[in-house]
Amino acid sequence: MRWLSCFLFLVMAANNHLSVVADDVVDFNRDIRPILSENCFHCHGPDAEQRQADLRLDEHDGALSSIIVGDRDKSELFARVNTRDDDLRMPPVDSNRNLTSEQIELLGKWIDQGANWGQHWSWTPIVSPEVPKIEDLAEFPVRNAIDAFIRRKLDEEKLTPSPEAKKSTLIRRVTLDLTGLPPTPQEVEKFLNDTSPAAYEKLVDRLLASPAYGERMAWNWLDAARYADSNGYQGDRERTMWPWRDWVVNASNDNLPYDDFTTWQIAGDLLPDATFEQKLATGFCRNHMINGEGGRIAAENRVDYVMDMSETTATLWLGLTFNCCRCHDHKFDALSQKDYYSLFAFFNQTPVTGAGGNPQTKPILLAPTDEQSKQMQSLESQLKVARGDLATYSKELDAKESTWEAAKLESLKESETWTPLLAKSVRAEHQQLEQLEDGSIFASGPNPKNDTYEVVAPLTPQSLTGLRLDVLRHESHFQGGLARSNSGNFVLTELEVFLVNGDEESPVKIRSAEASFEQGSLKVAGVFDGNRKSGWAVYDGKPVDRDHAALFRFENPVEAVQGAELRIVLRHDSQHASHNIGRFLLSTSTVPHPKLDEAGNQSLRLALLTPTEKRTDEQKKLLRQAHQNDDSRHIKLSKNVSDLEKRFNSVRAAVAKVMVMEDQQEFRESFLLTRGLYNAPGDVVTADSPTSLPPMPTETKKDRLALAEWLVADENPLMARVVVNRFWQQVFGVGIVKTVNDFGVQGELPTHEELLNWLAADFRNSGWNVKRLIKQMVMSHTYRQSSKVTPSLFERDPENRLLARAPRYRLPSWMIRDQALAVSGLLTNRRGGPSVNVYQPPGIWEEATFGKKKYVQDHGEALYRRSLYVFWRRIIGPTIFFDNSSRQTCTVSAFRTNTPLHSLLTFNDVTYVEAGRALAEKALHLDATSDRDRLEYVFQRSLARSAEDEEATILLAGLNRSRSEYKSHPEYASEMLAIGESERDQSLDDVEHASWTSLCLAILNLDETLSKE
């Protein structure tokens, strides 16, 4: 007979609808606009490019061109929708749209009644309606304005509200709603024993003041703000936006007024003397995905990011589907493509270029934890003292430098194994070479692609064993390097040495060589191998910033006689242009086995030999550093400073870097992008509000701060309605407007429009007080009533839109996890900080990232933190949250699912099995004499109520079956108890503990446990 009752219900509904046509005044917004929007606006709406026959039915004047007011029979509009001629009928046959006979009759009656028009309800100014006068009944009290509006609607529908829920149900319901956690048995007992009229209000006030309140409120905003711990896309690099997440929690707990909550996140950086928190709040805008894939065009990325900011703002504060305007005018709402890019322009001043995939793309804000701040402050204080001590002693040391120089020069002479060559002649094929006073040879003039140098130096009678080449920096070189190349680097391709005795010249063979540094394959051995394609170079990935040297050992000692000379040829024939040595010094040695000491010793010797008044700044710096490096006390003081700096930098490096908002210095023009393409700019647009909404003040500078101020202005008809509606959805399960993301003409009409207007006006007039708004909702009888439903009421209102009963629905997966941890006693109360990696099946990240991302599970208390702090990888969210948004884009609609597959997770995932084990251990530690007493304890912790006798009989029978099974297979018990990392009491009997674990796991999976009653 169920089908018959459904049929009768449909007949009654149809008759009720027809009664509106027959007797009632047709309301344009309620009855007519939805018909036109669904069936006509696609071809006769706001989108000029798609408009047919130059007819607009989204505006009154346009509609009147096809209507004879008061006479449907003479109206072209009615004739077209009512005709049976397929060639004339509207909507066209091939449009897949079709008006019902009831809709056609409504249009006819509307025309007959005068075709009155009305502005779309959400575009009208917010005016607080008068609260209805409703009789206050003992069983159904009118506790506040919410109840009055709900009751009036119920009276119109000839329905009555439900009586108040039991206190045990009520405390669990409101505790879950306001904190996301279940009440403790102690809290339940205290509430049940409090018989005062203010007992429930005291409970609500306590929950609103709980730190857990902010964590619960934050979850929905993180979904809306597309918060995640990684960039998304293929690379999906990790980011550190969690300080912004913690700011959201704190803002909720501090009850930050919602207009400030709005302004800070959109434009906190533009506020006068912006605080750290106000700048941090703008991380909201930067929560978008970042595309770092190879080959991606930076400019396209940047446009995508700005579009994301614009569309997210429009969804959250205007409730409008602005994304429909990227490529053309909106097909249903009074929003043009120009409106889209005018909003886009507010965010288009970001300095972000779109290049790369850096998850800390500037501008960034360092957001240290309290502990990090303390450490850095302490180290900064120590550094200030240490640097002061070092500076004072350095001045004392400077006064003694001349004495040190004399002693140092003498010391170098005594230990010197190399003697600089004083050239008789120096020349180059293209440049000018000259020998400076310090003996070094300097190249100047035009810098050719290649060059060859020749140096001839007289010798005294001696036996030479090696030649040294020091390549020296000079301030005229590239960034003070060794050459005038574009890196300060050189490539010496060949070095030739000849002994000249009168008219005779003989080559000197080189046996081996070593250098202070060698660049890759460009080894020093390549300068005497006879191959001009090889050679020696010293580039180390950055412009060369130190001197270098090479030692060439002769195959046999060179015996020089009186009058002999050494001719040295240096060739630069590299394919790398202009890599010619710019300044060098040649020295010889007579020791049997010459060694290459530090290149700096030669530079130091040259500096000491240079008269004080002729020393370069580089030489002065070199001498001062050498003096300091020779002094033990200076070394100790320097090391102290260096150690402190390392510790400070180490702490600073670990500080989270949050991407935040700034506007760039140079103004960037914005354009209407043809078809939404980044590289198809059309007309120039300027930042402004949509033309169909109240305008911004003309004298206001049109920046993000102006946008935020416009959003929260009293004149804006959307924001307060949109925000209140989302909070209503959070508390009651469904918004007064079901389409929480769409307040346009395609969105659902509000079930209680006057209630929504009253709440919006009251919220705005209260100073945007969120806790006050939430308290109003949960204090109402509408919220406090029972969720039990009769068959007749369910058939009348299956979705509970009229609220004749309290909503009952499945808890979100994140709350189910937190509840299991709290009930079992595993939940840790640590708040804030970096996200954590909890239990997850192996291979999930690896599968999604081609093995590039390895999941490393945390341990200890990190496994038992609230779901809010679980690491969220954008391309594959935490598997334990089976009903949540992906957080890739802004999401405000509630996710709710009851698919049976989820029981596989809640029965088998490590988190839930471990929670069952921990809860069982608590029950077994209870000073109880019977299984019934222990079951009562588990019920109180899980459901805030006692187990009924029938429930107890069924569950305890299951407990005994488990005991029998585990006794027969004790290995099964051991396997069950080994799940999870928390320690268990090994003194408990395995069979008993495993049996109770199975029972507790079953209770954690009861429909009532998983639902909000």
pLDDT-derived band of residue 11, with 50, 70 and 90 as boundaries? very low
Q: For 653-707, write each residue's pLDDT tens digit.
A: 999 999 999 999 999 999 999 999 999 999 999 999 999 999 999 888 999 999 9
Q: Which residues have C-beta within 8 Å of that of residue 344, sequence separation ≥ 6?
A: 306, 307, 310, 670, 685
- Top pLDDT among 1002 and 74 is at 1002
Q: Mark which of 667, 683, 716 sits at the end of a domain.
A: 716
Are residues 591 and 446 part of one domain?
yes
Quickly count helices (H) and strands (E) in the chain: 35, 18
Does the structure show a pLDDT above 80 at 306? yes
User: Quick one: average pLDDT of 745-773?
Assistant: 96
Q: Is the pLDDT of residue 132 over 90?
A: yes
Confidence (pTM):
0.82
Q: Identify the band that residue 600 occupies on the pLDDT scale cut at 50, 70 and 90.
A: low
pLDDT of 415 reads 63
Residue with tokens 């597959």: 901
**337 has a pLDDT exceeding 90:** yes
- Give the separation between CA 306 and CA 765, rounded to whole angstroms: 32
> Distance between CA 210 and CA 663 in Å, rounded?
37
> Is residue 120 domain-resident?
no
- Tell me whether residue 406 is in a domain: no
pLDDT category of residue 20 using cuts at 50, 70 and 90 = very low
Q: pLDDT tier at 598 (50, 70, 90 boundaries)?
A: low
Torsion angles phi and psi, residue 685, rounded to 5: -125, 155
pLDDT of residue 414: 63
Is residue 864 situated within a structural domain? no
Are residues 570 and 460 part of one domain?
Answer: yes
In this structure, the answer to whether residues 430 and 346 fall within a common structural domain is: no
Together in a domain, 698 and 588: no
* Amino acid identity at 533: K
Mean pLDDT on 763-786: 98
Which domain does 562 fall in, by range? 416-603
The predicted structure's pLDDT at residue 3: 33
Place of tokens 């509609």: 63
Distance of CA 294 to the CA centre of its chain: 21
Mean pLDDT, the chain, rounded, equals: 92
| Cβ atoms of residues 165 and 785 within 8 Å | yes
Residue 726 lies in a domain: no
Pick from 113, 144, 165: which residue ends a domain?
113
Burial classification of residue 722, based on how many CB atoms lie within 10 Å of its CB (0-12 exposed, 13-18 middle, 19 or more buried): buried
Flag whether 734 is in a domain: no
Inter-residue contact 459 to 502 (CB < 8 Å): no
Whether residue 983 lies inside any domain: the answer is yes
Tell me 166's DSSP state: P
- Phi and psi, residue 512, nearest 5°: -155, 170
Of the ranges 15-19, 207-211, 900-904, which one carries the lowest mean pLDDT score? 15-19
Number of domains in the chain: 4
Q: Is the bond leading into 363 cis (omega within 30 degrees of zero)?
A: yes
689: phi > 0 → left, psi -120 to 50 → alpha, else beta; which?
Answer: beta
CA 305, 309, 314, 320 dihedral sign is positive
The last residue of one of the domains, among 680, 698, 716, is 716
Q: From CA 529, how far away is CA 431, in angstroms rounded?
A: 25
Q: How far apart are the C-alpha atoms of 40 and 43, rounded to whole Å?
A: 6
Q: From the centroid of its chain, how far is CA 859?
A: 24
Minimum mean pLDDT among 46-50, 88-92, 705-709: which range? 46-50
Query: Does 593 lie in the same domain as 476?
Result: yes
Q: pLDDT band at 742, cuts 50/70/90?
A: very high
Together in a domain, 358 and 429: no
Decide if 281 contacts 275 (C-beta within 8 A). Answer: no
Could you tell me if residue 221 is inside a domain? no
> For residue 684, what are the β-bridge partners?
671
**Pairing state between β 419-420 and 583-589:** antiparallel
* Token reading at 942: 């899980």
Residues 466, 567 share a domain: yes
Portion of the chain with pLDDT greater than 70, in percent: 97
Asked, for residue 746, whether it belongs to a domain, the answer is no
Residues 423 and 328 in one domain: no
Residue 164's contacts (CB-CB under 8 Å, 6 or more residues apart) are: 139, 170, 781, 784, 785, 786
| Coarse DSSP helix, strand, coil percentages of the chain, rounded to the nearest 5 percent | 45, 10, 45
Shared-domain flag, residues 431 and 362 = no
Residue 686 sits in the same domain as residue 587 = no
Rg over alpha carbons for the chain, rounded to the nearest Å, is: 41
Contact 490, 543 (CB under 8 A): no
Phi, psi of 829, rounded to the nearest 5 degrees: -90, 10
| Model confidence band, residue 17 (pLDDT cutoffs 50, 70, 90) | very low
Which residue is listed with tokens 């081996």? 512
Segments of 716-794 assigned E as strands: none
| Top-ranked range on mean pLDDT: pick from 10-24, 403-417, 534-548 | 534-548
In single-letter form, the type of residue at position 958 comes to: G
Q: 573 and 426, same structural domain?
A: yes
Element (H, E) at 671: strand 670-673
Residues 475 and 552 in one domain: yes
CA separation for the pair 718, 123 (Å, rounded)? 7
- Give the separation between CA 448 and CA 454, rounded to whole angstroms: 16
Q: Which residues pair with 433 in a beta bridge?
A: 443
DSSP letter, residue 695? P
Q: Hunting for tokens 């909550």 — which residue is that?
A: 261
- Given a cut of 90, whether residue 773 has pLDDT beyond it is yes
Q: Are 179 and 819 in contact (CB under 8 A)?
A: no
Q: Over 90: is that where the pLDDT of 51 sits?
A: no
> What pLDDT is recorded for position 631?
92
